[in-house]
Amino acid sequence: MTFTLDPSTDPVTLPDHTQLPDSDGTFVKNFQEHPQSVLLTDSIEPILQKCHPDGQYAIGQDSGIYWRMTEPPEKGAEAPDWFYVPNVPPTLNGQPRRSYVLWQEFIAPLIILEFVSGTGKEERDRTPWTGKFFIYEQVIRPAFYGIYEVQKSSIELYRHVTNRFELVEANERGHFPIPELGVEIGIWQGTYQNSELPWLRWWDSDGNLLLTGWENSQQERQRVEILMAQLRAAGIEPQI
């Protein structure tokens, strides 16, 4: 990495995702964060593939978004628990992304989601230039910012309107629409990966739950079992 204050004599070379730290050295805050991220990514993949038949999108899970140069470098990044960026390549120069660098790519995430482990103060901190809410609202500027609290079984969703976040109201199903994707986000009480919790999940615009690959396979298996039972009840032995 090379830095200079005199671009007329030695132009500034800004670091890219391969040169910036991909971690600030902290632990994931709880065991629920990883499966929650996987659940969101797995179930929305078919929607994203339809929106981006060329495959040009990126999903970050506890990954850094670099927004300014600082020392140490990781102080100039926020690491949302989950975010989605449209119309960018999933890899850079054939390499998996280590982070998302705004001064390289410029496109803001469509949605950023934070999973609260404490009181939620950090996720709502509006302190200029240090508070997470302020940085998302005034610098990174995603179209949507969601604060999910598993302990309260709730999500606050904000939309970026005229340089500020405005709280989005839930619809009649208690979900929050994301019109750009044709989906809704909300709370689903159920079991995922052996944990019964109020999970954050997606629905389509008609209110149908978006299923994971495993849920789809189980649903198909049940459909086949019912069909085979009906055939046997009719005196027909199914051919497998």
pLDDT along the chain (240 residues), means of 10: 40 58 56 94 97 97 94 92 97 92 94 96 97 98 98 97 97 97 98 96 97 92 85 80
Query: What pLDDT score was predicted for residue 4?
Result: 36
Query: What pLDDT score was predicted for residue 2?
Result: 36
Query: What pLDDT score was predicted for residue 77?
Result: 95
Query: What pLDDT score was predicted for residue 158?
Result: 98
C-alpha dihedral sign at 193, 43, 115, 167: negative
Query: What pLDDT score was predicted for residue 10?
Result: 44
Q: How is residue 19 written in tokens?
A: 């040169």
Taking phi over 0 as left and psi of -120 to 50 as alpha, with beta for the rest, 79 belongs to: beta
The residue extents of the domains of the chain are 33-209, 211-240
Q: How far apart are CA 75 and CA 67, in angstroms?
A: 10
> What topology does CATH give the domain 33-209?
tt1808, chain A (3.90.1570)
Other Cβ atoms closer than 10 A to 183: 22
